[in-house]
Amino acid sequence: MAQGKGSGEGRIALVTGGGTGVGRGIAQALSTEGYSVVITGRRPDVLEAAAGEIGGRTGNIVRAVVCDVGDPDQVAALFAAVRTDFVRLDLLVNNAGSNVPPVPLEQWNGIVAANLTGAFLCTQHAFRLMKAQTPRGGRIINNGSISAQTPRPNSAPYTATKHAITGLTKSTALDGRMHDIACGQIDIGNAATDMTARMSTGVLQANGEVAAEPTIPIEHIAEAVVYMASLPLSANVLTMTVMATRMPLVGRG
């Protein structure tokens, strides 16, 4: 199997929510660039299948580690495994997340844990590792989503956490400066995944109508993340929006 070559050769990346959808696409693109990649999620069978398929295609190391990023103990174990197996971490992609309509308090807490607390915990552990390693530093990329800018109807829990991710990104970018840690955010508009499959049949719009929306291939998102990750630590994409050109976001619809 041919070895992947590119800007990531010899570097280590961790992608949360890396077993399916956008996370899997990002993991595959990074592996193709030569990164050794660790993917995490809550379903062992899905993770192992993704790791086997991606590693088989690229010839590079893809490791699956089961982790609920909302659980502090599991996140600590995840980063201990990364440190033991790879010594360092060059790139963290905080991608894991959950999206459901307005929900009871118990489910609200679960969404906050998956979308926001998990990103914070992973960022905290990444900082500790990146500050101590030689050479020092690294990069963190957060999946903010279009909902970090503009809400959809009936999306309060998801939108609230994604707006908070923007604050986390900016704080991380600021606090990371003195440690050579860069942090940016990618806001994604309608990548074609299982989660967005309903877009083609119609989703509720702000004016109360139901309308179909266009989607874009995951590969475009993955390529954007690879670009962000390819920059030297002296440069940073703080925010990037990648969206279907005709999706109803800009202006009044």
Q: Are strands 62-66 and 203-204 parallel, antiparallel or unpaired?
A: unpaired
Sequence-ordered alpha helix ranges (H) in 39-150: 44-58, 72-86, 105-112, 118-132
Task: Pick the closest to residue 93 from 127, 138, 143, 55 (CA basis).
Answer: 143
How far apart CA 61 and CA 144 sit, in angstroms, is 27
User: What is the length of the chain?
Assistant: 253
Place of tokens 């994409």: 237
Q: Catalytic: 227? A: no
DSSP lists the bridge partners of residue 185 as 142, 239
The pair of structure tokens assigned to 136 is 């020092």
Coil vs helix vs strand at 239:
strand
Active-site residue identified among 78, 158, 187, 248: 158
At a CB cut-off of 8 Å and minimum separation 6, what does 213 contact?
190, 199, 200, 203, 244, 247, 248
Sequence-ordered alpha helix ranges (H) in 133-188: 156-176
DSSP class of residue 191?
Answer: B
Catalytic residue IDs: 158
